[in-house]
Structure 1
């Protein structure tokens, strides 16, 4: 009986199939020389029949006999429809080309303007690329609720964001080993202590996608070993639109405070007057008060996006896009901070509180003009103003300052304002079928101000507060100004050759040149309080210092102000500490891409760079002033090989040589004082040389899925590290600490659809996992440091891992996405983990300081309620782990820092006109 039923079912199936015909063909990209367009959707209007093109653009459908309307679609492209007639038992061929246009991205915040926003398109680009690359687009950023570029990059494999900053570590390599660019042109740093700009300054509102190049290619400047992060700015093409959003955010720690105490006289929007006083040694004339003010710790944000295209003449088109936004955040953390010696004795032992308020104002304008399909130019203008103010309170034991039974109290107020202006002019010209010219130029400026950093120290006796001083710098006001401007240019010419039987070119030769010319001007003034004996013996209110440190007290002689050069009786006392720097890099390169066979492709490149770095300074460490320069000529070969095992599997190999430059602040003989220690530059630093090797396998099961595994290794000659030098004050400096070091590891990435509940509309459950496991090792040679520098070092260990390098880094997420009738729901749960990593190297029998591992859990929900209205909710850092740092001394591990960040909750509304 069962056999009869089975035979009947087979006959019915065969009968139904006999009524069908076959539709097959190829989908191509009209804007890319008719290259195959993989993963395009081919569907039949009014039915559930549909499929996607494969990686070669081919598709095939079995359809019932009759007349059908075939729809060809791809995000960022015009949908095309073709009417056909299917005859039963016959096969019909239908090829179709698609051209790009504007469309709307699924979700509620991001307005999609080209194909590169979509995860499937970026995976296709990764699949086709001759080189190893990794991208993250605005669709994925929206799905994961990412609001800035630093957090976005940290979602990719092997990348770690340093807590409390926009600095990233890639494969265990920190700021000095990475580089940052925008649309292929470099952008300057906003921090004199950093090589790269803080990526959290960049709102994802301006981002179309972010490219993370972990392997080197000739078009990139050679100061590279970890990754180059290239921010591709958003543009627009198509009908006009206007999108407005508003939201709020709260931090669970911040809202629980009865009072949220911040600095007085700082602008709420992040635009403050930052002038250094003209002569505070003779006239107490500080603009900002010392007292604190209470603010309601509720963050908010608002912004808009708009764009429109205009047809000019028969072929010309002008595309305009603009975005502007403002956001602020409140954070609070409390915990413990210690400074301990090798035997475990504490020199400082604090209970700490920190109130922090940050703002970000971003505006971007983009204009592109296409003369015709072959020639276009574009202009990008980006303005970012970011501010950060914090009130840090340290209460407890301070050796030599407050070592009585009740301890002491130290308060430090910081304010930093960064203003970045980027101007870019870009051009692209398809001269003919074989020649293509690309060029670009930029002029960028950045102004970073730290106006009126305030520090005051007190001893506590009988619950009363008294000023305390071991050095005149224990109570001070500090002003710092950094101005940097940079011009950069790039130009390249592509020549295609070797046309095959399919009329596609097998090879491409690229000749190019790029350059950057940087000028930096840094100055700093510190005004120290020399307190009179009477004032030091009077109890004061540390939260009402304006009552005693004021003009009347100054005029009465209760205290006086002085600088590192002396007091008001010296004419040179107001001379600020300064250093200036110039850096010129000129690079020419050649790259040859060639398809050796149907499966094997290669890119061979060579770059020649000439680098010159000049510095001059006059600081408290060198009152006479001095200058220093070095030059380097670098020959940088690189190789990329790709073996296409089949349509969905690639094997890749990449090898290269690069270098790592010391930074201006590291080479300038300048002392920078922090609450927990002092840092000074070292003019004897020199560049490292880096050798890089990657081997990668990648598999693309479906159009939006990937499984990849990468093995990598890096060998670094003469690595640079931040170290504690042998001195009575345990100052920190920089040195080439050994002859060599290496980093090696593996990376795994999986992106998979778990369930699909609908064949027509998007209704699916997806998951992603990326993880990197690595080991780093470097030699530490105290004798090398003593021979090459004007100071010594006494490392506790002969070897160590790289600072900031975590053995294990992992990101995992699971998302539910449903779309219907221009409505959508998207929910994502994501988890990130980072293992232990060295914060600073131990010396003089002190152990390494190690940041302990922790994990974070986030939830993001977004829904499109109508054609115009969207809603977003997020809950981040739900686990709220303890952030701990231990000093691993030879006899025991000592907890030297611990705090919690609190949970963050946000709500946003988006309206599309």
Structure 2
């Protein structure tokens, strides 16, 4: 009886199911050449039934016979309602092509809302691309609580950030091997010592996603071997929105200080620019307060953003997005800081350092997008960034183990305010002519200003050099021991990209087998660097009668009365007030012009095999004119570079790809590396080398990737780099062990493998309540082997007047960690009534890496391994209100740099833990 009842029930259930019909189809994206649109929302109006399109734009819904209306929508696109009737067992096909619009989904219950900032959408783009590419989008950035672009980039595989600087390392290759763009157009550097702009100055508030090309793309400039980081700014596509947010937090080290010292002069907001006094050599016109303090070293942030879009005519749309933000932060570090360590493991300088740091970041962006019609689009971006760093450092201990304060008692205090102002303007366009021809263009004008106004340094020593307890006097050892320093740098650049593509080989389904691309890129840069240092030179002949110095009241010594008494004098490297040119700044300036043309063919040889062959050539001019304390003159440089590249993708099946990339590129020396300018830090000086020349790079990548389902990926990449005539930072033979840059050997190689795994562990959805639960896991691991030969004789022969004696015959590449790991575990819960909770635990690890190469028997300077852990929690209380909490650097590891062979720690400190609370309100 039970068996009969069971069979009868199964019969009726099967009959009812068989009577259902199916509505199915494909949704295309008109904004992207009618490509399939993944993650579009498909809703049956008036019901709870709905789904999203898959990665191929396809959908399918089972329905009982009847009359329905299907609603097709995508965030920022038009909403289309299509009535239809379905019969029992019928398969109803409804295809549609969505077009961007200012109209939002209204009066319907949305089952899924997914924008192109989503991880899953970017992974889908990665899967479809022929090139080997990687991206991190706004969703992942928000989930991991990342506030600046540099930290976001460092979360991707094979990339790490150097502690204490803005440099990122990609597969062991540092600043000189990488490039940075905004919407595909180049950005200037904000630091004369680096090629790339600091990614720390860009707030993630303005980011839609960050694209990272670790293989060469023929559309990028050829000065590449590591990666090109392209920041894609937000483009608004929806209806009106305004959002305001604020936050507060603290650094555990900073908040624990009873007194948090700041440099005298700069203000809270970071828009200061202290001018040099008039006639500074004619009399003592400086004041030096070393007792300025922060009331409470608590971090803060604020942002305001909004956007809207409007329909114009039958097909046009105008949209805009604006964002303004300000944030500041306090940090404190303390620990050992040693200068040059000799082969007997003796540190010539041996300090204990305390560093009080205060930073600010102000961002303002306006973005206007005008879609004239479905074939023509113009976009305008303007962005202003003001970034400052204020550092007050105190060093106590041995100034010179063989001379001044040899048993301790020496004291150096330096305050540095560094401000960068960047104004970016871009105009971009895309124009389609029929089905075959597309013309893309973009032009930019960037203005960058970097100033260090009134850097203050004082050096105090015991009157009796070998007695740390004797009275204190101003140091007379070097002219620059006590000084005021003023620096200005400007970098103005005009750049443009122009390309046209033509499709050929039309197939039966109206797609094309091939595409030909031709283009031109050009950039013209003018750079100007001025620096004036006024030395407060203590008179050595009067050392015995020098007054005692009070560390907390240096104006008691450095004043007009003591200047008149002859205890010290004012002079620049050109001399004192008697020289009419004494205040003429040290200067280098010049121009860099790169003019590039390229051509490429993309072709589908079979349903599974896609190939891109390209060739790019660049004519490069880099002229530098200099007048410094070392010499004056000019160095002129021009060269032609030829760069072939090949990229291929083989689709094993609809879930797996094999990709290959090979290319030839180059590495260009930077202005400061070639200009003979002496830049002095506490315990270290740097000098340029006009004899530097290009390196040549050969790059190879082979990648396997699998996309099990939406939002998941498993991939492995093997890669190799071969660099001819690599450039390295080295210590040269000099009285002060200056650091310079040389082509250090004949070749360098890098071999490695990267793995990435993103997995959805739990994914549940309640169709009745709309609640969703997701638990996701991410892991990327990189292993790297590098080696370069070091040739002292080559350096001597190629660089007259420069002598380098490498300790080792070969070495790893500077900045290269053997092992890099990033991982995260993220939980997301969406409740009813627009409530949601996201919690993310993220960790990172990098192994030991070389900071600088060893010379004259001294070991390499090596940064020790570091493990970090962050926790981020975000809770949306309603559609309008959200709160967040973050706890970062929970492990608080010791940051340590050692000189191997001698096994001496030369730098060591802890950064402290960072905690913050935030709130946002949107309407």
Report the TM-score when normalising by structure 2.
0.94
Give the C-alpha shift of residue 19 in structure 1: 4.0
- Which whole-Å CA distance do the structure 1 matches of 2:77 and 2:824 have between them? 29
Asked if structure 1 preserves the Cα contact closer than 8 Å seen for 2:747 and 2:789, the reply is yes
Shift of 1:634: 0.8
- Are 1:102 and 1:113, in contact at CA under 8 Å, matched by a contact in 2? no
1:902 aligns with 912
Aligned-pair distance for 1:411? 1.0
Asked if 1:662 corresponds to 2:669, the answer is yes
Write the deviation string for residues 668-690 of structure 1: whole angstroms up to 9, x where unpaired: 01111111211100000000000
Decide which of 719, 722, 734 is 2:729's aligned counterpart.
Answer: 722
1:38 touches 1:55 (CA, 8 Å); kept in 2? yes
| Contact persistence 2:288–2:555 (CA under 8 A) | no
8 Å CA contact retained: 1:401, 1:470: no
Q: State how far apart, in whole Å, the 1-side matches of 2:185 and 2:113 are.
A: 22
Count of equivalent residues: 903
Matched, 1:516 2:523: yes
Equivalent position to 2:609, from 571, 589, 600: 600
Q: Is the 8 A contact 1:274 1:449 kept in 2?
A: no
For residue 108 of structure 1, what is the aligned residue in structure 2? Answer: none
Write the mapping of 1:623-662 to structure 2, written as runs, cut at 5 A: 625-662=632-669
Would you say the 8 A contact 1:535–1:558 is kept in 2?
no
Shift of 1:656: 0.5
Q: Match for residue 797 of structure 2? A: 787
Q: 1:491 to 1:559 in 2, by over 3 A?
A: same
Alignment of 1:189-338 (within 5 A): 189-286=189-286, 289=289, 291-338=291-338
* Partner in structure 2 of residue 551 of structure 1: 560
Whether the 8 Å contact between 2:147 and 2:204 is mirrored in structure 1 is yes
Alpha-carbon displacement from aligned partner over 1:799-838 (angstroms, at most 9, x marks no partner): 1111111111111111111223322211111101111100
2:165 & 2:234 partners in 1: Cα distance? Answer: 24
The Cα offsets for residues 187-222 of structure 1, whole Å up to 9 and x where unpaired, read as 100000000000010011111111111111211111
1:739-758 to 2 correspondence within 5 Å? 739-758=746-765
- Structure 2 counterpart of 1:569: 578
For 2:411, the equivalent position in structure 1 comes to 409
The answer for the alignment partner of 2:841 in structure 1 is 829
Give a deviation string over 1:314-363, Cα, whole Å, max 9, x none: 43332222111111100001111123211111211211110000011111
Decide whether the 8 Å contact of 2:321 with 2:366 is kept in 1: yes
Corresponding position: 1:885 with 2:897: yes
Matches within 5 A, 1:57-96: 57-96=57-96
The answer as to whether partners of 1:261 and 1:295 remain within 8 angstroms in 2 is no
> Post-superposition shift, 1:4?
8.6
Larger CA deviation: 757-766 vs 521-530: 757-766
Shift in alpha-carbon separation, 1:458–1:309, aligned structure 2, 3 A: same
Moved more, 558-567 or 327-336: 558-567
CA contact (8 A) 2:281 2:577 kept: yes
**Does the alignment pair 1:858 with 2:870?**
yes
Report the more deviating stretch, 553-562 or 662-671.
Answer: 553-562
Report the Cα offset of residue 544 of structure 1. 1.6
In structure 2, C-alpha distance between the alignment counterparts of 1:230 and 1:9, rounded to whole Å: 60
Distance 2:798 2:545 in 1: 45
Instruction: Compare 701-710 and 776-785 and name the one that shifted more.
Output: 701-710
Q: Does 1:809 align with 2:810?
A: no
> In structure 1, what is the equivalent of residue 465 of structure 2?
none
- Distance, in Å, in 1 between the alignment partners of 2:151 and 2:4 is 62
Q: 1:463 to 1:261 in 2, by over 3 A?
A: farther
SS in 2 for 1:757: strand
Residues 92-142 of structure 1: CA deviation (Å, up to 9, x unaligned): 32223323346999xxxxxx9994312122111111112111111111111
Shift of 1:280: 1.4
After TM superposition, the structure 1 = structure 2 runs for residues 371-410 of structure 1, keeping only pairs within 5 Å, are 371-399=372-400, 400=402, 402-410=404-412
CA pair 50-317 structure 1, distance change in 2 beyond 3 A = closer
Contact residue 604 and residue 640 of structure 1 kept, 8 A? yes
Q: Residues 238-261 of structure 1: CA distance to partner in whole angstroms, max 9, x if unpaired? A: 322211111112101000000001
Map of 1:454 onto structure 2: 456
Q: Shift of residue 779 of structure 1?
A: 0.6
Change (3 A) 1:52 1:459: same
- Secondary structure of the 2:636 match is strand
User: Is the CA contact (8 Å cut-off) linking 2:21 and 2:89 kept in structure 1?
Assistant: yes
Q: Alpha-carbon deviation of 1:7?
A: 6.6
CA 1:665 to 1:483, structure 2 compared with 1: closer, same or farther past 3 Å? same
CA distance in 2, matches of 1:138, 1:733: 40
2:853 & 2:281 partners in 1: Cα distance? 40
Q: How do residues 606-625 of structure 1 correspond to structure 2 at under 5 angstroms?
A: 606-622=615-631, 625=632
Provide the C-alpha distance between the structure 2 equivalents of 1:714 and 1:634, rounded to a whole number of angstroms: 18
Q: Does 1:912 align with 2:913?
A: no
Match of 1:357 in 2: 358
Report how far residue 729 of structure 1 moved.
1.9
Structure 1 distance, partners of 2:482, 2:241, is 55
CA distance in 1, matches of 2:745, 2:208: 41
What whole-Å deviation, never above 9, does each CA across 1:354-390 have from its counterpart, x for those lacking one?
A: 0000011111111222222211222211111111111
| Structure 1 residues without counterparts, runs of 5 or longer | 106-111
Cα deviation 1:760-810 (Å, max 9, x = unaligned) = 443211111111111111110011001100211111111111111111111
CA deviations on 1:273-330 (whole Å, 9 max, x unpaired) are 2323342111222376455434420111111111222333343332222111111100
CA distance in structure 1 between the partners assigned to 2:813 and 2:300 by the alignment: 38
What does residue 431 of structure 2 align with?
429
Take 2:92 and 2:237, find their aligned partners in 1: how far apart are those partners? 35
User: CA 1:773–1:73 in structure 2 vs 1: closer, same or farther (change >3 Å)?
Assistant: farther
Q: How does 1:98-113 map to 2 (within 5 A)?
A: 98-101=98-101
Shift of 1:86: 4.0
1:813-868 deviation per Cα after TM superposition (whole angstroms, max 9, x unaligned): 11111223322211111101111100110000000111011111111111211221
* Distance verdict in 2 for CA 1:85–1:454, change over 3 Å: same
TM-score normalized with structure 1 length? 0.95
Q: 1:537 to 1:605 in 2, by over 3 A?
A: same
Q: Structure 1 residues 85 and 103 mapped into 2: Cα distance closer, same or farther (>3 Å)?
A: closer
Asked if the contact 2:887–2:914 (Cα under 8 Å) also holds between the matched residues in 1, the reply is: yes
- When the two chains are superposed, the root-mean-square deviation of aligned CA atoms in Å is 2.3
Per-residue deviation, 1:525: 1.0
1:82 Cα deviation after fit: 3.9
Match of 1:180 in 2: 180
Cα distance change of structure 1 residues 864 and 294 upon mapping to structure 2, 3 Å threshold: closer
Pair 1:476-2:487 in alignment? no
Q: What is the CA–CA distance in structure 2 between the aligned matches of 1:797 and 1:165, rounded to whole Å? A: 26
Provide closer, same or farther for how the CA distance between residues 897 and 693 of structure 1 changes in structure 2, counting only shifts above 3 A: same
Q: Does 1:348 align with 2:320?
A: no
CA offset at residue 464 of structure 1? 4.3
Tell me, in whole angstroms, the C-alpha distance in 2 between the residues paired with 1:204 and 1:294: 27
Range moving further from structure 2, 62-71 or 804-813: 62-71
The reply on whether 1:671 has 2:682 as its aligned counterpart is no
Contact 2:75 2:238 (8 Å CA) reproduced: no
Partner SS for 1:224:
coil
* 8 Å Cα contact 1:178-1:224 kept in structure 2: yes
State the match for 1:109 in structure 2.
none
Question: What is the distance in 1 between the residues matched to 2:704 and 2:657?
Answer: 6
8 Å CA contact 1:100–1:114 kept in 2: the answer is no
* Cα distance between partner residues in 1 of 2:449 and 2:188: 10
Cross-structure match for 2:108: none
